Structure 1
Amino acid sequence: MKLLIGAVVAAIAMVTAIALGLTAIVLIDHDAEAIETTDGGGGLQGVPQEFRTWILRASRACAHPELTPALLAAQLSQESGFQLRAESTVGAQGPAQFMPGTWATWGRDDDGNGDASPWDIGDAVMSQGRMMCSLVGQAKNSGYRDDPRRLALAGYNAGWGAVQRFKGVPPIWFAREQGQAEGQTYHYVKVIMASMRRFQGPGQLQISGTGDGATALRKASGRIGTPYSYGGGGPAGPSTGFCDGRNGYLGGRCAATTTVGFDCSSLVQYAYWSSTKLPRTAAAQYGATSDRAVSRSNLKPGDLLFWAHRDGFIYHVAMYAGNGKVLHAPRTGRHVEIAQLSSAMPAADYRGATRP
């Protein structure tokens, strides 16, 4: 996307301000790799209300957890300052600053008003999300040694061809040959990555305390919004899964083989792996921890809750999230989410809880 010259000046000014200590953010290469949120970015603040729903929806629609609401919000802020009628001198249009040719590829009528328009908030933000999600996927598959978020932002601003040319974010001198502001893409990426924190609001899940359970729950909460993928995921993070003749299907097709995500037990395994090497399946996790049973009245954050069929087979595991809620990956077609313990799974199937 092309920036207004004024936006570039503002970006450079922000970098200068940060360097002078006017904010708590330190701008260095890859600085955003240390940014964490308690809910996978589900908390969002500092955006106009009319943008909020669409930003959250666009983030949830992406299979890559790197595309958080805060990242999308920071990008919109840099592109247009959330201005509906923003238009650059080179013809980029709307809040997400789409060039007409790029809009022809990514634009959709997401708000259902009968017109796919870069000027409509819903259409613009969802299309921004689609394009960024695709770029994050390209970045993760590229093998380039850089944060995929930085690479995706560079691709959005300068085109993926520029990222391929430099095997990373274009250097500060890039764009000089195109007659544009020198360092445009370089500063665009740097400012957005640094300003993400400004948009990270109170999360859906507030986790206090220490210990393995609280630590594991914090780690799992960073994957809220990640798709469910039967057989997918593990200690290293989300991955595609498989179908076994009964599980992993959606709408009559095998969704698991093309969905990067977690199933219920791989999410738990991923969350606890640094402290406790739990086995892969829910049944095996119950077997490994059943000697440390916990009553429902004594549950603590991070405790494991299990559900079983009538024949005793454990088919689901979730993590207790406090206040009568659980964090879990429910089923194909859904995402990692927070749910009420009383309704997360059939109440009659509840088998009990354990503490790893």
Structure 2
Amino acid sequence: MKVLIRAAAAVIGLFLLAVTGLVAAVLVDEDAAADELSDGGGGLQGVPAEFRPWILKASEECSESELTPALLAAQLYQESKFQTSREAATSDAGAQGPAQFMPSTWATWGRDADGNGEASPWDIGDAVMAQGRMMCSLLKQAKSSGYSGDVRALALAGYNAGWGAVEDARGIPPYAETQNYVKIILSTMVKFQGAGLYEVSGSGDGADAVRRAVARLGTPYAWGGGSPSGPTTGFCDGVNGYLNGTCSASSTVGFDCSSLVQYSYWPSLHLPRTAAAQYGATSDHAVSRNDLKVGDLLFWSNGGSSGIYHVAMYAGDGNVIHAPRTGKNVEIASLTSAMPESDYYGATRP
């Protein structure tokens, strides 16, 4: 009996299928070159791939609309140029990590965002999420202060010089360093402003799932990575997860094809973890290729249902959204080119 657990129903605990057997085989070149920078989608471009999901997440979790991904990216670039080594990302004043936190400030804002057991200003996820929380708070203070000027400029000044200095000046402090800091970040935001989100039509679980996936455009592929809560590091199994002979998955925060689908549907529908299991759970709702609707699941196989190796979601207009393979990012692609056309196995509607 196939069972899909609706979030609205009573659900006890969180059960994930074992990651073993995520896909039956890999038919594409795992040694394809990875893009150094992650571009387009979600209003963000030109940032290192390992920073992208955290910048998007930090922006998404702030209720202040001014905290855009481009603003966070421009600020990170000004702080450290996305450097993460202790040698390159330690200032003369003792600020640490890609978001340049002083130890005393880190004690207030730092948390273990990436779940590795340690809150560290050197961990990209921890640093960017702390940056986002601090900037979000500063934006709220700027809005309630009554001080004139761009609230983004006031918040940035507070990040650089401390909010006390902003209060003393009743605006941006008269420090050349702070004024230059604010000016540079606001003027370079455009460099990181990517294309807008892919517009998804329709309503219901399927359309909502695709919208949730679209918010993750550009997130790196990580074999075995991803969960209903978001992107995570993956692992290598002796065959999959390698790039240029090195285990890329274990150091990449991202999704694989089936975890992206699971994450996207999870708020309303609890799909299983693997592509084959997702087919098994939905195969009694098969859909003709001529009758696809936004949110339908599409599968590719190298031989029957037991050979399913990839899953994507139909995004409308002949396109799919998926996490394609190691070295690539979550992307929108045409259905005819997303995977080998001869391997297309069928579609289902969750």
TM-score by length of 2: 0.57
Distance in 2 of aligned mates of 1:60 and 1:105: 10
Give 1:341's aligned residue.
335
Distance 1:200 1:292, change over 3 A: same
Counterpart of 1:150 (choices 129, 132, 135) is: 135
Distance in 1, matches of 2:288 and 2:126, equals: 45
Give the C-alpha shift of residue 43 in structure 1.
5.7
Which of the numbers 284, 288, 299 marks the counterpart of 2:281? 288
Partners of 1:67 and 1:133 within 8 A in 2: no
Write the distance in 2 (CA, Å) between the matches of 1:213 and 1:247. Answer: 29
Change (3 A) 1:143 1:105: closer
Spell out, residue by residue over 1:121-172, the C-alpha distance to the aligned partner (whole angstroms, 9 max, x if none): xxxxxxxxx9569999746326987735838x99xx9xxxx97xxxx99434
**2:33: which partner in 1?**
none
Go from structure 1 to structure 2 and tell me whether the alpha carbon gap of 1:252 and 1:219 turns closer, same or farther (over 3 Å shift): same
Mind listing any 5+ residue stretches in structure 2 that lack a counterpart? 1-38, 60-67, 85-96, 102-119, 140-152
**SS of the residue aligned with 2:346?**
strand
* Distance of 1:66 and 1:328 partners within structure 2: 19
2:125 to 140, 145, 159: 140
Task: State whether structure 2 residue 299 is matched by structure 1 residue 306.
Answer: yes
| Percentage of pairs with the same residue | 47
Aligned partner of 1:61: which letter? A
Task: Tell me, in whole angstroms, the C-alpha distance in 1 between the residues paired with 2:53 and 2:82.
Answer: 26
Does the CA-based 8 Å contact 2:47-2:73 persist in structure 1?
no
More helix by share: 1
Compare relative contact order (CA 8 Å, sep 6+) and give the higher one, 1 or 2: 2
TM-aligned CA distance change 1:336 to 1:75, over 3 Å: closer
1:71 aligned to which of 69, 72, 82: 69
Q: 1:171 aligns with which of 163, 181, 198?
A: 163
SS of 2:165's equivalent in the other structure is: coil
The aligned runs of 1:37-76 (5 Å cut-off) are 42=41, 56=45, 58-59=46-47, 61-67=49-55, 71-72=69-70
After superposition, the Cα gap between the structure-2 partners of 1:105 and 1:140, relative to the gap in structure 1 and judged at 3 Å, is closer
Shift of 1:278: 0.3
Q: 1:223 to 1:340 in 2, by over 3 A?
A: same
SS of the residue 1:327 aligns to: strand
Partner of 2:242: 249
Q: Secondary structure at the match of 2:233?
A: coil
| Aligned-partner SS, 1:290 | helix
* 1:107-131 Cα deviation digits (max 9, x unpaired): xxxxxxxxxxxxxxxxxxxxxxx95
Q: What amino acid maps onto 2:249 in structure 1? A: A
- 2:210 aligned partner: 217
Matching of residues 1-356 of structure 1 within 5 Å: 42=41, 56=45, 58-59=46-47, 61-67=49-55, 71-72=69-70, 138=123, 140-141=125-126, 147=132, 150=135, 170-173=162-165, 180-181=174-175, 202-203=196-197, 205-310=198-303, 312-356=306-350
- Equivalent AA in structure 1 for residue 165 of structure 2: W
The alignment covers a number of residue pairs equal to: 245
Task: Provide the alpha-carbon RMSD of the alignment.
Answer: 4.6
Residues 60 and 327 (structure 1), Cα distance of their counterparts in 2 relative to 1, 3 Å cut: farther
TM-score normalised by L of structure 1: 0.56
The answer for unaligned runs of 5 or more in structure 1 is 1-39, 45-54, 80-95, 107-129
